[in-house]
Amino acid sequence: MTGLGRRLLLLIPTVLGVLTLVFFLVHLIPGDPVELMLGETASRADLGQLRADLGLDRPLSEQYARFLGGLVRGDLGRSFYYRKPVLAVIGGALPATALLAAAAMAVAVLVALPLGILAAIRRDRLPDRLALFGSLVGVSMPNFWLGPMLIILFSFRLGWLPVSGREGAASLVLPALTLGTALSAILVRMTRASMLDVLGEDYLRTARAKGVRPVTVIARHALRNALLPVVTIIGLQFGALLSGAVITENVFAWPGVGTLLIQAITARDYPLVQGCVLVIALCYVVVNFLTDSLYALIDPRVRT
């Protein structure tokens, strides 16, 4: 079996572990979905009947077995709150989150790579200092603060961009900036450090000595080697990006999976919570898997 195939198989227990943990966590936290659904006027009999209909009166182990059974058949159950299949509810929210995450990733990479490279080749000079300082600031700003600040500046004072919502490309700018800033700050440092490592290598000295133009040295010889750890970090940070999306979506009224997840937890909508977590966990492991696979593209030595 190839390395990649083995890794692909390993994803299954990872996702299953996450789901098991979440299943028991959401069922064990206080709060009763049935009471939240039926409201205060419901009688004990009504509450009991709905509990039975939803299978919530069964032992937790049985509920868990049923949940796994459904999962195998691709059935995540019905949302208590929306009274619709979980997959349909999540399917409606997923594209928005995917778009936001992709845009944030694009912002992060487009800002961080040039800055990191610039900082490395102008080491200890003004661009480097500025990049390092900027990255410190960027990584220190929490999303729930940065979001409103960007709104106040760009939407409120300057009036360039919409405050929130999802109408056209313009409304994507601020959420993507908010979500991408922290990742970008980390990537700047990573790119810089990685470039510095590579810039000291003998083969670069050789390349320069034989008269290769500096730009080509950086772009063709150095960058490709320096990118490997950067790609790893991008993959690893994808999880942080998804959790950041929960907050960013709230600030910008962005109708994605994060918004849905918060709502589902508040309503104790167990199937929907599990569905959202499944989707988020899947995204995370798949992105990490793809990151691993990307190594092979960037660095032929990794190919097995």
Contacts (CB under 8 A) with other proteins, residues 170-229: 170, 172-173, 215-216, 218-220, 223
Ranges within 74-93 binding other proteins (CB under 8 A)? 81-84, 89, 92-93
- Cβ proximity to other proteins: between 49 and 291 the closer is 49
Q: How far is the CB of 45 from other proteins (least distance, A)?
A: 8
- Cβ proximity to other proteins: between 164 and 181 the closer is 164
130 forms part of the interface with other proteins (CB under 8 A): no
Ranges within 34-73 binding other proteins (CB under 8 A)? 35-47, 49-50, 53
Q: What are phi and psi of 78, to 5 degrees?
A: -110, 140
- Cβ proximity to other proteins: between 101 and 285 the closer is 101
Binding mask 94-123 for other proteins (x = CB under 8 A): ------------x---xx-xx--x------
Q: How far is the CB of 219 from other proteins (least distance, A)?
A: 3
165 forms part of the interface with other proteins (CB under 8 A): yes
Q: How far is the CB of 6 from other proteins (least distance, A)?
A: 35
SS (H, E, C) the chain: CCHHHHHHHHHHHHHHHHHHHHHHHHHHCCCCHHHHHHCCCCCHHHHHHHHHHCCCCCCHHHHHHHHHHHHHCCCCCECCCCCCEHHHHHHHHHHHHHHHHHHHHHHHHHHHHHHHHHHHHCCCCHHHHHHHHHHHHHHHCCHHHHHHHHHHHHHHHCCCCCCCCCCCCHHHHHHHHHHHHHHHHHHHHHHHHHHHHHHCCHHHHHHHHCCCCHHHHHHHHHHHHHHHHHHHHHHHHHHHHHHHHHHHHHHCCCCCHHHHHHHHHHCCCHHHHHHHHHHHHHHHHHHHHHHHHHHHHHCHHHCC
Q: How far is the CB of 143 from other proteins (least distance, A)?
A: 11
271 forms part of the interface with other proteins (CB under 8 A): no
- Cβ proximity to other proteins: between 251 and 278 the closer is 251
32 forms part of the interface with other proteins (CB under 8 A): yes
- Cβ proximity to other proteins: between 97 and 288 the closer is 97
148 forms part of the interface with other proteins (CB under 8 A): yes
